[in-house]
Amino acid sequence: MNRGGFTLIELLVVIAIIAVLAAMLFPVFARAREGARATACRSNLAQLGRALLMYAQDYDEWLPAEPHAGNPHPDLVAVLQPYVKNIELFYCPSAPSVGRTIWSDSDGDGAIDIEYHPINVARGNISYYYFCFYNLPSQAAPSRARWIDWGFLRQWWGDRPRVMSLHWLPTYWLMSDWYCRPHRDAGGTVPHESAFMSANVLFLDGHVKKFSQPAKDIFQ
């Protein structure tokens, strides 16, 4: 007598095998997706670096300076817009909550979409720290959003301004990821598969490099 189908046990075995394979492959897919985001982030920083160098050539080799290294950066966004002409470059794909918000079902698919919030963009809330500033780090408000100012910079740069020009050493940091911190505390997020929160860095000479070591050990 010919069998017309699978038995329940055979189906369960197949389902179990598929589940095991899925459990093995999902982390691989997640790492590949984050790797793509890290690459996009480095591309963003590289293009912002070129824009900053072009700005410096137009302004006697001085870089635009902001009040603090942390958000907001409305002046920086405004002065670089003529050079980049793409607001998305200011947003790391691994930091979707910065400069974005749960907005609406804009495409009508029944799901709430996460989009850029125009008010945040106008205020200069971007996904990167900018290390050319004219106020003392101690003058920044001690909030989570300005952690890089009143914590990291006061310890590893000093409580002093940092108005940069092209005459500074090319290895000085100009911009970095939003998650550049010396410890593993970023709200449960591990961006770019970096265990120490020191991922992509833009240097003064315009090159970008990914680091997987504490920012305090390599900051300049």
pLDDT at 117 (0 to 100):
58
Contact of 127 with 71, CB cutoff 8 Å = no
Give the model's pLDDT for residue 29. 58
CA pair distance 108, 113, nearest whole angstrom = 10
The tens-digit pLDDT sequence of the chain (220 residues) is 555 566 777 777 778 777 777 777 666 555 667 677 778 888 999 999 999 999 999 999 999 999 998 888 889 999 998 998 888 888 887 776 555 554 455 556 655 444 555 666 667 788 888 999 999 988 887 665 566 777 788 888 999 999 999 999 999 999 988 765 544 444 445 556 554 555 789 999 999 998 877 777 788 8
Q: Using alpha carbons, select from 162, 183, 174 the residue that is nearest to residue 202.
A: 174
Identify the pLDDT of residue 103. 44
Q: Supply the pLDDT for residue 64.
A: 96
Torsion of CA 142, 146, 149, 155, to 10 degrees: 70
- Tokens 């997987």, residue located: 212
